[in-house]
Amino acid sequence: MKNNNLIKSLIIIGLTIIALIVMNKFLDSYLKRIVNLCAIYIILGLSMNLINGFTGLFTLGHAGFMAIGAYTVAILTMPVAMKEMNFYMKPMVPFLLNLKMLEIPFLPPAASEFLWFIFALLMGGLLAALCGFLIGAPVLKLTDDYLAIATLGFSEIIRIVFTNTQSITNGALGLKGIPPRNHLLWAWSFAILTIIFMYSLMSSSYGKALKSIREDEVAARSMGINLFKHKVLSFSIGSFFAGVGGGLLAVSIGTIDPALFKFSLTFNILLIVVLGGMGNIKGTAISAIIITVAMEALRFLDEPINIGPIHTNALPGLRMVVFSLILMIVIIFKKDNVFKSTLQKARGRYAKDR
Amino acid sequence: MSVSEFMQHLANGTSLGSLYALMAIGYTMVYGILRLINFAHGDIFMIGAYLTYYGIVYTSLPWWAVFILAPVLTGIMGLILEKLAYKPLRGSPRITVLISAIGASFLLQNLGTLVFGGRPKAFPIPKMLSGTLKIGGVSIAVISIVIPIITIILLLTLTFIIQKTKTGMAMRALSKDFETASLMGININKVISTTFFLGSFLAAVGGIMWGIKYPQLVPLMGVVPGLKCFIAAVIGGIGNITGAVIGGFILGLGEILIIAFLPTLTGYRDAFAFVLLIIILLVKPTGLMGERQAEKV
Amino acid sequence: MLKIDNITMKFGGVVAVNQFNASISKGEIVGLIGPNGAGKTTIFNMITGVYKPTLGSIIYEVNENEEDITGLRPDKIAKLGICRTFQNIRLFKELTVMDNVFIGNHLRLDSGVFSAVLRLPKYRSEEREQFEKSRYLLEKVGLYEERDEKAFSLPYGKQRRLEIARALATDPKLLLLDEPAAGMNPQETQDLMEFIVDIKKEFKLTIFLIEHHMEVVMGICERIYVLDHGILIKEGNPLEIQNDQKVIEAYLGVE
């Protein structure tokens, strides 16, 4: 039976890859970007679900970790000349300015570039994970809403720091001209790897231990599970993937600035996780695709409408009104089902037996 | 720094602190009773400011009437918000309600963009409240003096309501022990509605005065002050009204004075609140005036 | 095996346990009884590190090593070989019966998280052992058939047994049972007593248990501590306890 599943998964992955190669050939750059965004949001959704859904730690700091990944990848992959052009207000720190690809001897330049990009993404992820580790160590002792607000605070601090460290990040001006990596296989390979990683992690002893923390912290630690270690582990792994997702976002859209990493970005990911089901890998992947496509498809809502005799003015905001409503309707009507398995127990319920 | 400059900063910080305090009260009252971070509170504050704007610009009512009417309307909106977004979720896991609150916040922000437009609007400042006063060589904006005075009046009124009225007593009972209090025949819905009304009313007053102090309205104006005021409530000890006021002043004064003394940190102004929050959570998670609750096993 | 020396637990102004002393030798089954609210579970919570005693010390002796475990973190205490069940059953409700027991053994896992994700050979062999152990324990408590059910869907009595299986999965030397027979009918209680004696023998356990069912306490405990209002009022064998005036008063109340 196990083999059957493996074969089935391999077939699905194979078909996905073929489909991606075909799409890559025929889609225009706008549609390709949406397909890429789907993969990126799968990674982000899963990484948030690992922390919030599987481990039961309600954190809201994703945008900050994405920013770390995005800036790392941008700085590592941008050519020196491009960096100089960007930093016209205040020159970049020479060390970062001169950071550039290592040419690996005996390899064709294309292969070097390939490896360097992977290295840059991993560095983005690792730096985000390191930050996650440093931040997680003190705040993961908090619970519920305190943790949410503290992680949100950290994410804002990261953004404010990035806005102010002009000689590193170019401040509010952002970075333009990040070398694009638009081939669909880039983002999607990482998305598939993330999915496999999450399945493997969650079915392992460690994954089960994480779930036990979500179910009942007191029981989990009485069974010898080091809460702190496991929470930090989950948080750091989640941050790693958020960083990788941020890096992929940077090379997919080509331009980043601190305003991109506001709380509303975390909100989008939260929407995906809630819709996909807390602690549900498949659901998260599907809802990431649905939400990403819907976000794009509903862009017309913000624009002037001219259908035959009907003319309306541009209605900026309408699209996000729709998405906020979706989130609230889902949460209100699905209530506990959203958290199919989450967070009842000792944590107390809202205004009932707290 | 000269004495007069310092006095200006002090006045500025005090009035900012008063605004934070007004808003922090709403967070702390709701959290005290429902254990919920009302994420949408900052957006209620925004709506209060906009309602005032429309009242003054588009009606012939005198400004002081609008200043009373708008908070009342905002209060009612807060009450409706609770009925729609939070009441259906009573008895659900706390995180569910928190997500609903985040959703409500985004909804209000984007409704704001949709209805009020994304472009900044200039807040119409009544003549009486604009201008500066010169006191012993120190020139201080009139509004910097008016804000703390109004805050004190409102705080005294609120204290009276909470300490002396029946609803106020019920509020205190609910925040001490929700379960028992609700078994004692307290009309929970009425108390919760009152709480939301009062909190939103105060936020709207804060919004109006914010508009006079920083006369530019945008639909996202409530986000950052909202987060900061929640932080103020946490610093003071969430659930504790006096604590929220103290937290508000610490934050307002701290923010202004740090920048006054260390101008290089100007860009980091908004980070101050978050750094303070994290320090407080690590050192004394219950806040300055909060009580600790033991975990039952 | 366990030496409890003058432990006191205060919550604010309330003294829940006052200068409690006890010692448990290897291989014993010891009971802890007392009226509701006497502070029994608080003592368990102090032994397992959930609460840190206000005063006093707890010494745990294992393999001829004496270790002061007072106020140690619960997971460290569990690693040293002290595990427990809970009065108000605290299973991982939404997880399967199998996973509940499996998680109990997680603390003995050597492999790191990456070797687990990559399924390196070392992890795989450890996991296989972990799985075999869980299977054995589930068979032992008669729950193997229900291994894929969610824990909350089990009837009450089976949940209690699952909790014991989960605790056994941590490889304990000292097992603390908090009211294992609560809510059981006489037949189930009888089965439980045999079960406790059985696992004690098989896993070479020392058992410390809180119980209200007197037939359990009197039936299997070699020694009994009686607690009332946080104070130790009597220690002795079942016979001595049954005939003690103070104990009778504590239970029946005194005019």
* Chain C nearest CA to B296, separation (Å): 10
- HSE of B155, CA atoms in CB hemisphere, 13 A: 21
Structural domain count of chain B: 1
What value of ipTM does the predicted structure carry? 0.91
Task: With residue B114 as reference, give the H or E element that holds it.
Answer: helix B94-116
Per the domain annotation, does B293 fall within a domain?
no
pLDDT, tens digit, 9 for 90 and up, residues C219-235: 899 999 999 888 998 89
Clarify whether residues C166 and C139 are in a common domain: yes
**pLDDT at position A15, please?**
92
Clarify whether residues C39 and C97 are in a common domain: no
Return the closest-CA partner of residue B143 out of B68, B209, B203, B201. Answer: B209
Is it the case that residue C214 has pLDDT exceeding 90?
Answer: no
Residue range(s) defining the domain that contains residue C148:
82-171
Q: Which CATH number do you get for residue B120?
A: 1.10.3470
Q: What are phi and psi of A201, to 5 degrees?
A: -60, -45
Is it the case that residue A339 has pLDDT exceeding 80?
Answer: no
Per CB-CB distance under 8 Å, the chain C contacts of A201 are 113, 116-117
Indicate the residue among C155, C171, C187 that finishes a domain: C171
pLDDT, tens digit, 9 for 90 and up, residues C2-35: 999 999 999 888 889 999 999 999 999 999 998 8
Q: Which CATH number do you get for residue C68?
A: 3.40.50.300
Structural domain count of chain C: 2
Confidence of residue C179 (pLDDT cuts 50, 70, 90): very high
Q: How far apart are the first and last CA of chain C?
A: 40
Taking an 8 Å cut-off on Cβ atoms, the answer to whether A200 and C119 are in contact is: yes
Is it the case that residue B42 has pLDDT exceeding 80?
Answer: yes
pLDDT, tens digit, 9 for 90 and up, residues A58-78: 999 999 999 999 999 999 999
**pLDDT at position A240, please?**
97
Per CB-CB distance under 8 Å, the chain A contacts of C98 are none
Taking an 8 Å cut-off on Cβ atoms, the answer to whether C116 and A201 are in contact is: yes
The position carrying tokens 């009020």 is: B116
**pLDDT at position A352, please?**
42
From the number of C-beta atoms within 10 Å of its C-beta (0-12, 13-18, 19+), residue C253 rates as: exposed
Structural domain count of chain A: 1
Mean pLDDT of chain C: 91
Taking an 8 Å cut-off on Cβ atoms, the answer to whether B91 and A274 are in contact is: no
Compare all CA atoms of chain A with the CA of C116 and give the residue at the minimum distance: A204
Clarify whether residues C199 and C244 are in a common domain: yes
Confidence of residue A347 (pLDDT cuts 50, 70, 90): very low
Residues A296 and B233: their CA atoms lie apart, in Å, by 38
Clarify whether residues C76 and C153 are in a common domain: no
**pLDDT at position A344, please?**
40
> Is the distance from CB of A244 to CB of A117 less than 8 angstroms?
no
**pLDDT at position C255, please?**
45
Taking an 8 Å cut-off on Cβ atoms, the answer to whether A225 and C107 are in contact is: yes
pTM: 0.90
Mean pLDDT of chain A: 87
Q: Which residues contact B219 (CB under 8 A, 6 or more apart)?
A: A317, B46, B50, B109, B110, B112, B113, B116, B118
Instruction: Name the token pair of C63.
Output: 């393999």
**pLDDT at position B111, please?**
92
Per the domain annotation, does B291 fall within a domain?
no
Clarify whether residues C162 and C216 are in a common domain: no
Q: Which residues contact C202 (CB under 8 A, 6 or more apart)?
A: none
**pLDDT at position B292, please?**
54
In residues, how long is chain B? 297
**Mutation for C interface: A46, A206, A222, A280, most C CBs within 10 A:** A222
Indicate the residue among C105, C136, C171 that finishes a domain: C171
Task: Please indicate if any CB of chain C lies within 8 Å of the CB of B294.
Answer: yes
Instruction: Name the token pair of C224.
Output: 């009994």
Residues C85 and C99: their CA atoms lie apart, in Å, by 17
Residue range(s) defining the domain that contains residue A211:
2-339
Clarify whether residues C187 and C250 are in a common domain: yes
Compare all CA atoms of chain C with the CA of B292 and give the residue at the minimum distance: C12
Instruction: Name the token pair of C221.
Output: 């405990």
Indicate the residue among C109, C140, C171 that finishes a domain: C171
Q: What are phi and psi of C56, to 5 degrees?
A: 90, 175
Residue range(s) defining the domain that contains residue B26:
3-283
Taking an 8 Å cut-off on Cβ atoms, the answer to whether C50 and B294 are in contact is: no
Is it the case that residue B17 has pLDDT exceeding 60?
Answer: yes
Confidence of residue B228 (pLDDT cuts 50, 70, 90): very high
* Chain B nearest CA to A7, separation (Å): 38
Proportion of chain C in helix, strand, coil states, percent, rounded to 5: 40, 25, 35
Clarify whether residues C96 and C156 are in a common domain: yes
Is it the case that residue B295 has pLDDT exceeding 60?
Answer: no
Per the domain annotation, does B294 fall within a domain?
no
Task: Please indicate if any CB of chain A lies within 8 Å of the CB of C48.
Answer: yes
> Is the distance from CB of B192 to CB of B58 less than 8 angstroms?
no
Mean pLDDT of C117-144: 94
Mean pLDDT of chain B: 88
pLDDT, tens digit, 9 for 90 and up, residues C76-116: 999 999 999 999 999 999 999 999 999 999 999 999 999 99
**pLDDT at position A346, please?**
34
